Chain A
Amino acid sequence: MAIELKMPALSPTMEEGTLAKWLVKEGDAVRSGDILAEIETDKATMEFEAVDEGTIGAILVPEGSEGVKVGTVIATIAGESDDAADTPAKSAPAATAAQSKAEEPTVAAPPPAKPRASDPALPTGTNMKMSTVREALRDAMAEEMRRDDRVFVMGEEVAEYQGAYKVTQGLLDEFGPKRVIDTPITEYGFAGIGTGAAMGGLRPIVEFMTFNFAMQAIDHIINSAAKTNYMSGGQMRCPVVFRGPNGAASRVGAQHSQNYGPWYASVPGLIVIAPYDASDAKGLMKAAIRSEDPVVFLENELIYGRSFELPELDDHVLPIGKARIMRPGSDVTIVSYSIGVGLALEAAETLAGEGIDAEVIDLRTLRPLDKEAVLRSLAKTNRLVIAEEGWPTCSIASEIVAICMEDGFDHLDAPVLRVCDEDVPLPYAANLEKSAIINAARIAETVRKVCYR
């Protein structure tokens, strides 16, 4: 039985090539691995090897032929008699792929969004206590570590030093060095180890001293953690939490002052959370640790020490992917997240004194983004401003503007405007830094603009 040798595709993009030279002639015996011909592609001259054993029958395309289409039969091999029986010649197998391309089906649509879960109602009589964001995060980790012995914390100075920003204070004493692990300064390495441990069935919390240093590790966050579930057809889970302070701190210069929210929020396969107050920090951190998906949890150094009301509950867990109305209002919407929320609330207070009633929305989760909450508020107020402590270009603010244009256009009474940091590396000098970063006055000023005041 003759086996057809077809013009091979020798690169992902090759459609035709030149049959430069035959290295065998009719009647030659060949075995697998022998080089039969040289074929020139647009990039290189490639060797074409025999896969089957047998004797070269007819050479159908002479050497020197140009523009030979991939899939053209260029020669035949007569198989050895005992091999021939179990080497079924494939009749035009290449057609399968080509056919399915030809019958281009309709484009798949994303599944409809299901209604997002609301924050659980606080039982009547729940006591509220004051807590810093720092304590809330620590308590969230400690509670989850008590609940699930697969949960552990690793990072630089998380154990004996008690945390560079004291977020892990006391964890070593309670859980010991097996579960609270000091790493060397080696972000790429320990982000990979944390990710691998999650693949192996554990629940790592990987602390970055700041997210600026996670740039060294971003390959594992994106290529290893975010994509693996998809690439494995849903076999491989990667339930890891990457957490640490994000955004501008104070007078630490450009390399230590950057908001990575938009970077991570652009990646399918990641959950990105950026809470503002203590209650959200705790409730969302607990949810992040329990999630089966990889989570980037962006904290903010400047709000670690701020105190907020925190419900005293045995198990305070909040839904991921749900925005929160921080201040209801009817005239204009201010969308923000993380440290920007405090500034937006401050601006809203100022504006209230001028007779502008602003609604402030805290996105809390940047991916998946709660579009519905934004659009609902826009439908009510018809005016919207985004306040973001971060660069304006390709930002969360840009994304919200796009959402308003695509899905909220009919509700708009004014252009959507954004208030972000200046589009510069963050300077060190106190006056320059101050003028580069978003503040409440600029938010209020922008709100007045969309209200035509």
Chain B
Amino acid sequence: MPQGIPTLAKPPSARKPAAAAADDSAFTLRSLQDAYLAKSRFEASDEDLLRFYEQMVLIRRFEEKAGQLYGLGLIGGFCHLYIGQEAVAVGLQSALDTEKDSVITGYRDHGHMLAYGIDPKVIMAELTGRGAGISKGKGGSMHMFSVDHKFYGGHGIVGAQVPLGAGLAFAHKYREDGGLCMAYFGDGASNQGQVYEAFNMAALWNLPIVFVVENNGYAMGTAVKRGSAETHFYRRGTAFRIPGMDVNGMDVLEVRAAAEVALAHVRAGKGPVLMELKTYRYRGHSMSDPAKYRTREEVQEMRDKHDPIDAAKAELLKRGVSENTIKEIDKQIRSKVNEAADFAESSPEPDLSELYTDILVESY
């Protein structure tokens, strides 16, 4: 496991205050974790696993290509890669109902968009700042949205997506459309005050939302234990009576199994869930991060022993899926990513007239 990331803690002490509140018996903080541990891996068909593998490889190759284009000066500003964390977005989003549910995340957003089936071409073209980008080149890596896919960003202010996500959940509940919101944020964002303001209201109003902490061990350069008094992020909903789940985010099938438990709880109208996904990013916080706060050995250990893509591949081979099938997927993805990169490099920059469009919707 990554440095500074604790293993699953024992259940809290069974000792109860003498005069426990009458509803405490219904306080199910650990019930979801218990349900998840009872069946902690999703029983995927070969097709399911192949699809997960394909999506994870797409994210990995896309991000590597983005890193390369950044190095070539084709992508500017900040660029936060998702390499290493692929199983989280792929596993969780595979469990969503894309017709109804909404998703929101922070600035490390390329992987979520790809997992959601958004065209890699328009994502890459946004990264290169072209008119054909998903935000017409006006958003960039951190600010991408697809209302059609109910993907609500792509937010650059750490933690802002959490109350915004609670707002999306509020809208689901208000409209009674049966949808829920999945709001992703990092271990760093977990120390923002607005996160807890959102937890409080989400629990108070029973909003249909899954809060997902992607704990990759480092808030930029600050290891979790250096920045967090409570490093068990899944416990951080306790004060708001939000049940927590502690999930291995490096195994796509475990992620998916956990997602099903969480979604069933939320869909049953029981209010928010807080999931902590233990994961790891192989690259720096952003492209300009030399990542000197951790050892090369630590990163190599994660790559060699806990890589979600290698694990999925090994499992596919064990199941008897042929090496050729996997090679064919890899090859198709390479060409898909190359196509996206070509598109992103060859598309023209936005027309200068776009400077003044989309500031306001109406004219006054």
**Could you say which of A38-46, A123-131, A296-304, A333-341 contacts chain B?**
A38-46
Binary flags per residue of B61-90, CB closer than 8 Å to A gives 1, else 0: 000110111111110111000010000000
Give the docked Cα–Cα distance between A41 and B289 (Å). Answer: 11
User: A35's closest neighbor in chain B, by CB?
Assistant: B296
Is A87 a contact partner of B73 (Cβ separation < 8 A)? no
Is A234 a contact partner of B77 (Cβ separation < 8 A)? no
Is B358 a contact partner of A229 (Cβ separation < 8 A)? yes
| A172 interface contact, C-beta 8 A | no
Is B364 a contact partner of A116 (Cβ separation < 8 A)? yes
Binary flags per residue of B164-177, CB closer than 8 Å to A gives 1, else 0: 11111111101100
Is B201 a contact partner of A224 (Cβ separation < 8 A)? no
| B147 interface contact, C-beta 8 A | yes
A368 proximity list for chain B (CB < 8 A): 364
User: B193's closest neighbor in chain A, by CB?
Assistant: A188
Is A198 a contact partner of B197 (Cβ separation < 8 A)? no
Is B362 a contact partner of A200 (Cβ separation < 8 A)? no
Number of interface residues of B (CB under 8 A): 88
Given contacts A197-B168, A200-B102, contact A232 B145 (CB under 8 A): yes
Is B334 a contact partner of A223 (Cβ separation < 8 A)? no
Is A236 a contact partner of B153 (Cβ separation < 8 A)? yes
Near A by CB (< 8 A), chain B positions 288-302 give 288, 290-292, 296
| B352 interface contact, C-beta 8 A | yes
Give the docked Cα–Cα distance between A105 and B334 (Å). Answer: 36
| B155 interface contact, C-beta 8 A | yes
B287 proximity list for chain A (CB < 8 A): 10-11
Is B160 a contact partner of A224 (Cβ separation < 8 A)? yes
**Could you say which of A90-98, A308-316, A346-354 contacts chain B?**
A90-98
Q: DSSP majority for the A interface?
A: loop
| B200 interface contact, C-beta 8 A | yes
Given contacts A90-B345, A184-B204, contact A224 B164 (CB under 8 A): yes
| A192 interface contact, C-beta 8 A | yes
> What is the CB-to-nearest-CB distance from B302 to chain A, in angstroms, rounded to a whole number?
11
Is B157 a contact partner of A292 (Cβ separation < 8 A)? no
Give the docked Cα–Cα distance between A211 and B155 (Å). Answer: 25
| B46 interface contact, C-beta 8 A | no
Give the docked Cα–Cα distance between A198 and B143 (Å). Answer: 18
B133 proximity list for chain A (CB < 8 A): 233
Which of B70, B133, B296 counts the most A-chain CB atoms under 10 A from its CB? B70
A107 proximity list for chain B (CB < 8 A): 352
Give the docked Cα–Cα distance between A269 and B361 (Å). Answer: 9
| B25 interface contact, C-beta 8 A | no
B288 proximity list for chain A (CB < 8 A): 10-12, 14, 41, 43-44, 46
Given contacts A229-B361, A235-B135, A292-B362, contact A44 B194 (CB under 8 A): no
Is A189 a contact partner of B198 (Cβ separation < 8 A)? yes
Is A192 a contact partner of B198 (Cβ separation < 8 A)? yes
Give the docked Cα–Cα distance between A9 and B204 (Å). Answer: 48
> What is the CB-to-nearest-CB distance from A81 to chain B, in angstroms, rounded to a whole number?
12
Is A194 a contact partner of B364 (Cβ separation < 8 A)? no
Give the docked Cα–Cα distance between A268 and B32 (Å). Answer: 45
A292 proximity list for chain B (CB < 8 A): 361-362
User: A13's closest neighbor in chain B, by CB?
Assistant: B288
> What is the CB-to-nearest-CB distance from A302 to chain B, in angstroms, rounded to a whole number?
28
User: A46's closest neighbor in chain B, by CB?
Assistant: B290
| A319 interface contact, C-beta 8 A | yes
Give the docked Cα–Cα distance between A20 and B349 (Å). Answer: 35
| A59 interface contact, C-beta 8 A | no
> What is the CB-to-nearest-CB distance from B119 to chain A, in angstroms, rounded to a whole number?
14
Is A195 a contact partner of B194 (Cβ separation < 8 A)? no
Given contacts A105-B352, A224-B164, A235-B147, contact A97 B74 (CB under 8 A): yes
Partner of A183, one of B146, B156, B201, B282: B201
Is A178 a contact partner of B163 (Cβ separation < 8 A)? no
Binary flags per residue of B327-345, CB closer than 8 Å to A gives 1, else 0: 1000100110010011001
3 closest cross-chain pairs (CB), A and B: A196-B167, A192-B163, A189-B197
Binding site for A on B (CB under 8 A): 64-65, 67-74, 76-78, 83, 102, 104, 128, 133-140, 143-147, 152-157, 160, 162-172, 174-175, 193-194, 197-198, 200-201, 204, 282-283, 287-288, 290-292, 296, 303, 327, 331, 334-335, 338, 341-342, 345-346, 349, 352-353, 355-364
| 25 A–B contacts from the bound complex (CB under 8 Å) | A8-B68, A44-B290, A46-B288, A47-B291, A49-B67, A70-B73, A86-B334, A93-B72, A97-B73, A108-B352, A110-B356, A184-B197, A186-B197, A186-B200, A189-B198, A193-B166, A196-B168, A199-B164, A199-B167, A199-B171, A200-B152, A228-B145, A233-B358, A234-B358, A293-B360
